[in-house]
Amino acid sequence: MEKLFFCTYWGNEHLDWADFLRKVKDAGYDGVEASLPSNPTIQKKMAQLAAAMNLKLIGVHWDTGTPDFNQHKKEMQSRLINLTKAEPMFITSHTGKDHFSFEQNLELLSQAEQISISSGIKILHETHRGKFSFTAHGTKAFLEELPWLNLTLDISHWFTVAESFLQDQAATVDLALSRTRHIHARVGFTQGPQVNDPRNPEWQEALQHHLQIWDKAICLQEEKAAPYFTFTSEFGPFPYMSSSPGQIPASEHQWNLNKYIKDLLKTRYYAE
């Protein structure tokens, strides 16, 4: 099974898109994950430039935040349809709200699935605070209800919300892993979604918990003979990036951490 490694544009928006792509290519990534502008002409040019550099593209929907459900549904539909027109490899969606009802979030997920079917672009739903999937146990009910529901797993959010590494919810985590098709590779801990540097000794326990989860997701997909599995290094900027060592700018520290995670996982999963 091929493993593909992506770089997030989040936190790199100060770079021109072409400059960002060249930096990503030089760093050994296979592609980029980015939220694209709503302007279809600009969006198409961005996608074409990535393709010209032989970089794959994952689209991101995160920006539907309207608390009114009916308006939220309408805006989410428009945003997802627009993203599919860029023909990304797939879309990672921050779907729903933690304060919407179970039925309302089901409606949003079903809407996304219909867009996915009609466009031919897979839409995965990220585990994320504030969304339908903000807890492990809450997401379990959606996975049981919707057999087609697949995830982008960022388990750092669940560790934070549960204030644990979920040792007491192993069966629930296993269910989520069986539906995981993409991983946001950021290291969090029980009191926050991002450690300041996973290379530091004090964060080795947290790093190992993440690696064990990621290993299991990989194994499950290999058992299913999936053709590929994808990771996006996703250490984020301020306020996720609360500090950087010495005089290193926060943006450079973020870049270095994401490259470290990419290199660590490449070595780990291609060691054979």
Count of beta carbons in the 10 Å neighbourhood of residue 270:
9
- Distance between CA atoms of 126 and 107, rounded to whole angstroms? 16
The CB-side HSE value for 234 (13 A sphere, CA atoms) comes to: 23
Domain that holds residue 187: 2-269
CATH number of the domain at 113, please. 3.20.20.150
CA-based nearest residue to 233, from 210, 205, 252, 255: 255
Looking at the predicted structure, is the pLDDT value of residue 143 above 60?
yes
Beta strands in 35-179 (DSSP E): 56-61, 91-93, 123-126, 151-153
Residue 159 in contact with residue 209, Cβ under 8 Å? yes
Q: Which residues are within 8 A (CB) of 244 and not within 5 positions of it... i.e. 6 or more apart?
A: 250, 252, 253
Q: How does residue 94 score in pLDDT terms, banded at 50, 70 and 90?
A: very high
pLDDT tens for 183-224 read 999 999 999 999 999 999 999 999 999 999 999 999 999 999
Q: What is the pTM of this model?
A: 0.96
User: Among candidates 78, 115, 76, which has minimal Cα distance to 96?
Assistant: 76
**pLDDT for the residue numbered 271:** 59
Q: Where are the alpha helices (DSSP H) in 150-249?
A: 155-162, 170-178, 204-223
Number of domains forming the structure of the chain: 1
Alpha-carbon distance 70 to 161, whole Å?
Answer: 27
| Residue carrying structure tokens 């919810």 | 169
